[in-house]
Structure 1
Amino acid sequence: MIAGRYLRARRKDAFISVIAALTMAGVAIGVATLIVVMSVMNGFRDELLTKILGLNGHFSAYPIEEKFTDYKPTVELIEGVPGVRHAVAYVEGQALVSSQSNASTGATVRGMEFSDIQKLGLLSQSAQQGGWDQWDQSQGVAIGYRLAERLGVGIGDPITIVNPNGATTPFGTTPQIRSFPVNVIFNVGMVEFDSFYVYMPMHLAQDYFKMYDDVLKPGVEPPDPMATDEEIDAAYERQYRASAIEIFIDNPDDINTMRERLQNTPGIRPMILSDWQQRNETFFSALQVERVVMFTILSMIVLVAAFNIISSLVMLVKDKGADIAVLRTMGATRGSIMRIFSITGTAIGVIGTLIGFVAGVLIASNAEALRAGISELIGVRLFPPEVFFLSSLPSKIDPFEVTVVVGLALLLSFLATLYPALRAAQYDPVEALRYE
């Protein structure tokens, strides 16, 4: 009751009440800022993960000992592992891509079946021109819109792909040069894929990069050295293989557990597993450091508000010196005096934290609407898509982080009350009432 009366404004205590209100506002602003900034950074991280891992799997599996001639049954076994969303086999090689306008650039050529492209929603839904119809039976390729602009080509125009590892002749290895029409121009929103990736049907890539082995058929004798080409072809069968398998899992952060499952599942052949954290270690380490630094810096706002609680309570204790002395002479203990001012300061922190929590969650939940409104109000586009490759301002509220922020604010608010409350409890009633 006494702590509540000290919080309520009276005419002669208006100045102290204003300070308490400003302190409460400081706590609210600090909590709201922390929640909003951490939510936006979580949204950016998820958006980057979606873009980066939309086409590259959480694991890249490479063959050990034997080549990936059994890639189809291996994909089926991997997709049966709990926690695996899907797996995609592909053929990949580096090549020089040029057009009839004499523009050329290096590119990564990747061969995939249509059923696997459908598993990659980011790719299958990103076709700006053309389409994926009859992809497996086609003889064309798909390229990013940035690569198409660089080469100056459109749908139906031919591009020439030069593979340095061509046929072996007595004079050395000759490059393999073939032309393919452009069937699809896609835009996935990442410069890496839109500028340097060329997709072609799986069978076309296997033939182009010679991803096959001619194996003698079971029970057939090796043909005579003087045998005709027809006899040689009849004695051998062609076994096609894949370069690697991309594995997509339900929880991108559950790398260690999924690695053990994939390596210990019976029937799955031994493979080298390279996860997305290893491939993007530098980038995501920098992102993690940035999140920690931002949390630490913004926590200073709450810390400053906690110091404001100390200053406002010190002034309150100084102003209520006579009240404390009267309470002591009436039998109040030091502990009760300390509780009064602890409750007063903690109430300021609790109310400010609750206001900040509600405001932070509301702002973080409507970050894109606020961005659009502010952009329209000031006439400047905030976070333009052509620069940040994001069509909207991402935001993801993490309940654990919000709990940490609220808990930190409440803890600092409580700790800030200890020193002023202890000073109030040590007041000497005789000295306080000497000049009253």
Structure 2
Amino acid sequence: MFGRFELMLAGRYLRARREEGSISVIAWLTLLGITIGIAALIIVMAVMNGFRADLMERILGVNGHVIVQAQFGPVQDYVALARKFETVSDVVTAMPMVEAQVMVTFRGQAGGGLVRGLSREDLARMPLVAKNITGGSLDALVGDDVVMIGNRMAERLGVAVGDSVTILSPTGTATVVGTTPRLKAYRVAALFSLGMAEYDSTFIFMPIDAARAFFRTGEGVSAIEVMLRDPDSAPLVARQLTQMADAGKPLRSVTWQVTNSTFFGALAVERNVMFIILTLIMLVASLNIISSLIMLVKDKGRGIAILRTMGASRGSIMRVFMIAGASIGVIGVLGGFLLGVVFCDNIESIRQLLQNLTGARLFPDEIYFLSKIPAKMEVGETATVVVVGLIMSFLATLYPSWRAARLDPVEALRHE
């Protein structure tokens, strides 16, 4: 498509002489702008993808994909019902659970918490919990007076493994003198760190029988958490589970998409807006190719006229300037791709380095929920960014190249 003469001439035009320094500077700035634009788009999309994937892994690793509750009161016959749920093809586990809001106190320090009563066997089947025990042992979570709390709650209260904390229930006990708070001391048998600040500072795991006794749910439980092989199949499975209820004991099922719809919806909107904004930045950088090529065409007008009089066709002239402009775009896009990949692979090290240099906390985990910046590059998305950058760069060369090809040799040489 391109001849050796056209490639050679485009290369010479890109290597500006000293008197053409302004053109060279604009070309370098254009290349730098495209590189930064492509790299920024790749990095931001990777961080957004990693942020969503990490949050989903932690949210769905602790919370059930489907939560089955009774229409009225606690779920009765929960053991048999859980076993029945596990016969559904897509269900991995069905775990009875007692859940309630509490206040935790220790030596004058107090804070809110969320108690989750689960059997030790069910906790062991939750890899995110079982593999992130930082103190004590999951095997010690046996009895009526033991709990397992997050490391952030332990730090806030000053609690260590073996200490006893007091748990107060907001639903107190009715007496002749009024309602009195229900409270009990529990020994901390283990600590965990799920890598999500909200969970590590609020969750309290307790044996299910101890939770049933403390919250007085009788023979029932608050809900049954159902884990699926494919989380996206939750709506279909939820309908199946609801239909499995015994006559006279209606159930309702809530999927993880409904529970977290606002959160993940906000993430999706933010991701799309950031893509549009950064694409516009990349578009502005690509448009600089037009200005640099127009200046090059104006500066090389005499040379273009001489080439036309020597027999060079308009198509040949157009291809020369298309090669010159596209070369800037291609080099910028490839440079941005490499910069983006290297940055994403070392993003946490870069964050630590910037924190040490500036002394400021970047990406505080209590605000962003995660303890480190995640980055997950998707091949299809990254390829789309690269292709869009190349297309923009190519399209930006068309108008200046067309102007160069339309240059009249007579008008160009009249005043020479």
User: What is the CA–CA distance in structure 2 between the aligned matches of 1:7 and 1:246, rounded to whole Å?
Assistant: 66
Matched, 1:211 2:222: no
Report deviation, 1:202. Answer: 1.0
The higher radius of gyration belongs to 1
**Partner residue in 2 for 1:343:** 323
Match of 2:239 among 260, 263, 266: 263
User: What is the CA–CA distance in structure 2 between the aligned matches of 1:104 and 1:312, rounded to whole Å?
Assistant: 65
Paired letter, 1:135: L
Match of 2:302 among 316, 322, 329: 322
Post-superposition Cα deviations, 1:5-49, rounded to whole Å, max 9, x if no partner, equal 223326467533453333223212211122122222322333333
Greater mean alpha carbon deviation, residues 413-422 or residues 40-49: 40-49
Post-superposition Cα deviations, 1:114-152, rounded to whole Å, max 9, x if no partner, equal 111123333334444432224344532223344445656
Given that residues 144 and 197 in structure 1 are in contact (C-alpha distance below 8 angstroms), is that contact kept between their aligned partners in structure 2? yes
1:213-292 pair list within 5 angstroms: 240-249=219-228, 254=232, 257-264=233-240, 268-269=244-245, 271-292=251-272
User: What is the CA–CA distance in structure 1 between the aligned matches of 2:292 and 2:110, rounded to whole Å?
Assistant: 69
Question: Residues 173 and 416 (structure 1 numbering): CA distance in 2 closer, same or farther, change over 3 Å?
Answer: same
User: What is the CA–CA distance in structure 1 between the aligned matches of 2:167 and 2:395, rounded to whole Å?
Assistant: 68
Report deviation, 1:320. Answer: 2.7
Match of 1:94 among 85, 96, 101: 101
Question: Residues 150 and 37 (structure 1 numbering): CA distance in 2 closer, same or farther, change over 3 Å?
Answer: closer
**Partner residue in 2 for 1:45:** 52
User: What is the CA–CA distance in structure 1 between the aligned matches of 2:8 and 2:94, rounded to whole Å?
Assistant: 62
Paired letter, 1:310: I
Given that residues 7 and 17 in structure 1 are in contact (C-alpha distance below 8 angstroms), is that contact kept between their aligned partners in structure 2? no
Given that residues 104 and 168 in structure 2 are in contact (C-alpha distance below 8 angstroms), is that contact kept between their aligned partners in structure 1? yes
Report deviation, 1:416. Answer: 0.9
Report deviation, 1:65. Answer: 7.4
Given that residues 93 and 228 in structure 2 are in contact (C-alpha distance below 8 angstroms), is that contact kept between their aligned partners in structure 1? yes
SS at structure 1 position matched to 2:407: coil
Match of 1:199 among 199, 202, 205: 205
User: What is the CA–CA distance in structure 2 between the aligned matches of 1:39 and 1:350, rounded to whole Å?
Assistant: 22
User: What is the CA–CA distance in structure 2 between the aligned matches of 1:378 and 1:261, rounded to whole Å?
Assistant: 50
**Partner residue in 1 for 2:123:** 117
Given that residues 147 and 196 in structure 1 are in contact (C-alpha distance below 8 angstroms), is that contact kept between their aligned partners in structure 2? yes
User: What is the CA–CA distance in structure 1 between the aligned matches of 2:120 and 2:288, rounded to whole Å?
Assistant: 63
Give the total of aligned pairs: 405
Matched, 1:55 2:34: no
User: What is the CA–CA distance in structure 2 between the aligned matches of 1:20 and 1:360, rounded to whole Å?
Assistant: 21
1:19-418 pair list within 5 angstroms: 19-64=26-71, 68-76=75-83, 78=85, 86-99=93-106, 101=107, 104-137=110-143, 139-148=145-154, 153-163=159-169, 165=171, 176-212=182-218, 240-249=219-228, 254=232, 257-264=233-240, 268-269=244-245, 271-329=251-309, 332-375=312-355, 382-383=362-363, 390-418=370-398
Report deviation, 1:413. Answer: 0.8
User: What is the CA–CA distance in structure 2 between the aligned matches of 1:298 and 1:89, rounded to whole Å?
Assistant: 46
Question: What is the percentage of aligned positions where both structures have the same residue?
Answer: 46
User: What is the CA–CA distance in structure 1 between the aligned matches of 2:156 and 2:354, rounded to whole Å?
Assistant: 35
Matched, 1:6 2:39: no
Given that residues 234 and 256 in structure 2 are in contact (C-alpha distance below 8 angstroms), is that contact kept between their aligned partners in structure 1? no
SS at structure 2 position matched to 1:133: helix
Gapped regions of structure 1 (runs ≥ 5): 213-239
Q: TM-score, normalised by structure 2?
A: 0.81
Paired letter, 1:7: G
Report deviation, 1:156. Answer: 3.9
Gapped regions of structure 2 (runs ≥ 5): none
Report deviation, 1:380. Answer: 6.3
Post-superposition Cα deviations, 1:372-397, rounded to whole Å, max 9, x if no partner, equal 44555667665466776644432111
Question: Residues 26 and 105 (structure 1 numbering): CA distance in 2 closer, same or farther, change over 3 Å?
Answer: closer
Report deviation, 1:162. Answer: 4.1
Report deviation, 1:316. Answer: 1.9
Q: TM-score, normalised by structure 1?
A: 0.78
Paired letter, 2:39: A
Question: Residues 242 and 27 (structure 1 numbering): CA distance in 2 closer, same or farther, change over 3 Å?
Answer: same
Report deviation, 1:352. Answer: 1.5
Greater mean alpha carbon deviation, residues 19-28 or residues 80-89: 80-89
Question: Residues 81 and 396 (structure 1 numbering): CA distance in 2 closer, same or farther, change over 3 Å?
Answer: farther
Query: Aligned-pair RMSD on alpha carbons?
Result: 3.6
User: What is the CA–CA distance in structure 2 between the aligned matches of 1:31 and 1:435, rounded to whole Å?
Assistant: 43
Paired letter, 1:116: D
Paired letter, 1:280: N
Paired letter, 1:196: T
User: What is the CA–CA distance in structure 2 between the aligned matches of 1:106 and 1:265, rounded to whole Å?
Assistant: 33
Paired letter, 2:32: A
Paired letter, 2:120: F
User: What is the CA–CA distance in structure 2 between the aligned matches of 1:310 and 1:396, rounded to whole Å?
Assistant: 34
Given that residues 322 and 398 in structure 2 are in contact (C-alpha distance below 8 angstroms), is that contact kept between their aligned partners in structure 1? yes
User: What is the CA–CA distance in structure 1 between the aligned matches of 2:154 and 2:176, rounded to whole Å?
Assistant: 37
Greater mean alpha carbon deviation, residues 17-26 or residues 392-401: 17-26
